[in-house]
Homo-oligomer: A and B are copies of this chain.
């Protein structure tokens, strides 16, 4: 028979996946000889079988639970349901990965009318016994039976009124006895059943409730947001009760072994005397700080310090502990690695190494790479934000905090910014034409779009704070007003504040705190650079991007999207002339206007990167993206261009595509309009040669051909690029090396990567498009069904945020492998959104890529994540 139940003595910290984090650590503490009340853990395996079995707990599970209970009775000398000396237990959930949202805790289980009376007698404290009983009924009703709490609260309030009591602890034993009777009536009224008087029945129901809570909506959402597979399941911990509410020599508390906000090495926590666990959380009485415990119980505080020290030595990390004091004796109820701010995480990691508690490699693994975002962007003052009320909520699309005046169009935003105003740009959704306006704004808010919408991607690239998908609000761009679902209105120029890390929108001006990049941060990234084997480059389209990227330690530019330069107001007109051109001659004339501009862009990039590699992608988006689409804008533009509105309108129509994502873009543009790559390669090469002559940097431009799906297609465009590059070299009289490679972003390219590698000197995986094409859905359209996919757990992770290892990952691995077979020195990179995601970075490391490229603001994250990947996979 399978073993589903483990006494604390039987487990240890390594059994996390079977016993959950809480159970494994209770077992570990038991093994360490710390004062842990005895108990046992029902394994995650039992939970998984419950789900496999359509929500039925196997008989074997209950049999083993009751066997363990008998053992617990023997250990404690108490008996479950015994009126004289009743055994009471707590029941808590505990998954392998700590996870809020599930059923948390039921205390005092085992109480019924008889054992409550027995408890009163045994302790000589009827008030304590009935207070404990009413707490149990309330918790059981709430978390096991999911009854509404309002009637229970009303009954308690009535009791307080009757006794003239301000707080519950002032209620008398008799009143509490009445409360218990009222509670049982409420329970019967709501469930149609009497409150269960059999402790074993209570226990069985509680165990099943924990299993059930694994699958509630809050837990599901949490798992999805954090990429936790639902197949892990939760364990259930059953532990004999100790009581913090037995009198004034009793209490309960929580503590961190170091400061979770700064990392300072000092016990940090709070406690309540004469209370049970939930009182600390409930906030009815204000807990005291841990230092004051020394005044009442210096011995206990000393013991707590000792335990904390021992646990830190043992686990090699800052611990978050729960304890109860029963009649002056300390009991440990939980320990786990403590959550911490990014600042604290850096401080603790550095300190642990100094104190010899961890090696550098171990310390690096203790930092959540994603969390570094918090120290890379400004934040709101935490004190101020506590008092502020959001007016709307959207998706936290790009982290950071920003306050500014509201504008509804990119142009107005640009103008206001030029006047020195702090600007918040609010749009229903953004398009490539808005890029200038976005870059002038402090923050961007969009009503539509998800975490990978245009606004989100561009804002992250720029390090601008951004909130997308803010369905709580509506924008009327004509009236220039933003209306919230609660009816508030904000007009042009009104102040708005955005917290891109939480998705909260505030209707007022709020002070921000600038990003603090402390010495610890530098230390940690220094260690990371020593450990990692994966290169880290940045996606950077402008000299400003490139400078930011360098500041954050990028080793080169992995993706420069040349088209982003096309939207600048001084060049869009030439771009449009090129598009509207009727013939090659007109097109060449327009391209000749663009050449010096592109060249000066590239010069600035090369200069910023001081000779480090710069990968420049040839024009990628479909041409219609550069033209206006609505009638008035077309008319205005036609006038500027000196052509008829009809001609321009016809051009716009002729460029219309049914599926732009699958249309005339990428290298397909280079095949049909070879003048475009000729101009771009000329600019790339002339700029490189000039900068090399002027500054002496040894530059090797990397020319990247996008959207290749066929070898001959790459060869065709490569041939244009080589001819152009050679012509420039000849003309300039200086030979510099250059590389020609391709984006791998079309599934077919992965399938024929061995062929493609015969032509390409490097691959850069464009995982955004590769994900869209492999799954067969575009991120612009998937918003209509993905919410249901998450709800039904068809997807548990966002494939646009983290590489889909099973599908897209298989293509990447295949392409990397086949590509290297054809060309052993093939450079392999990734430049999709995934390049800045720690989990995806680990995949990139495993699959043998040369570097990842991500937005400048993610470079530090990528450096740390790359180090973590190297450390984890060394073993």
Contacts and interface: CB of A to CB of B under 8 A. Distances in A.
Of A658, A659, A776, A788, most buried by chain B (CB within 10 Å of CB) is A776
Chain A's interface size range is 35 or more
Contacts of A660: 658-659, 781
Contact of A658 (B713, B716, B781, B785): B781
Interface string A16-37: 0000000000000000000000
Interface in A530-567: none
A309 interface: no
A808 interface: yes
B671 A788 contact: yes
A104 B788 CA distance: 64
A658 B789 contact: no
B774 A662 contact: no
B811 A751 contact: yes
Given A793-B712, A794-B712, A662 B663 contact: no
Contacts of A629: none
A804 interface: yes
- Give the interface centre of A748, A782, A788 by most chain B CB atoms within 10 Å: A748
Interface in A730-772: 745-748, 751-752, 755, 769, 772
B776 A746 contact: yes
Contacts of A748: 774-776, 804, 807-808
A777 B662 CA distance: 4
Q: How many copies does the complex hold?
A: 2
Contact of A789 (B671, B775, B781, B806): B671
Nearest to A784: B664
B747 A774 contact: yes
Contacts of A659: 659-662, 778, 780-781
Nearest to A663: B781
Interface in A784-830: 784-785, 788-789, 792-795, 804, 806-808, 810-811
A663 B785 CA distance: 9
Contact of A794 (B707, B713, B778, B792): B713
A122 interface: no
Contacts of A177: none
A746 B769 contact: no
A873 interface: no
A788 B804 CA distance: 35
Contacts of A781: 657-660, 662-664
A576 interface: no
A710 interface: yes
A664 B773 contact: no
Nearest to A708: B776
A583 interface: no
Interface string A675-718: 00000000000000000000000000000000101101100100
A668 interface: yes
A171 B556 CA distance: 80
Given A661-B662, A751-B774, A773-B776, A672 B712 contact: no
Interface string A87-106: 00000000000000000000
Given A748-B807, A748-B808, 19 more contacts: A657-B784, A658-B778, A659-B662, A662-B772, A662-B773, A662-B781, A663-B777, A663-B781, A671-B792, A709-B807, A710-B807, A712-B793, A712-B794, A747-B773, A748-B774, A751-B774, A751-B810, A751-B811, A752-B810
20 contacts: A657-B781, A658-B781, A659-B778, A659-B781, A661-B661, A662-B662, A663-B777, A671-B789, A672-B784, A672-B788, A707-B776, A709-B774, A709-B776, A713-B794, A747-B773, A747-B774, A748-B775, A748-B807, A748-B808, A773-B776
Q: Which 6 residue pairs are nearest across A and B when measured between Cβ atoms? A: A748-B807, A746-B776, A662-B778, A663-B781, A658-B780, A659-B778
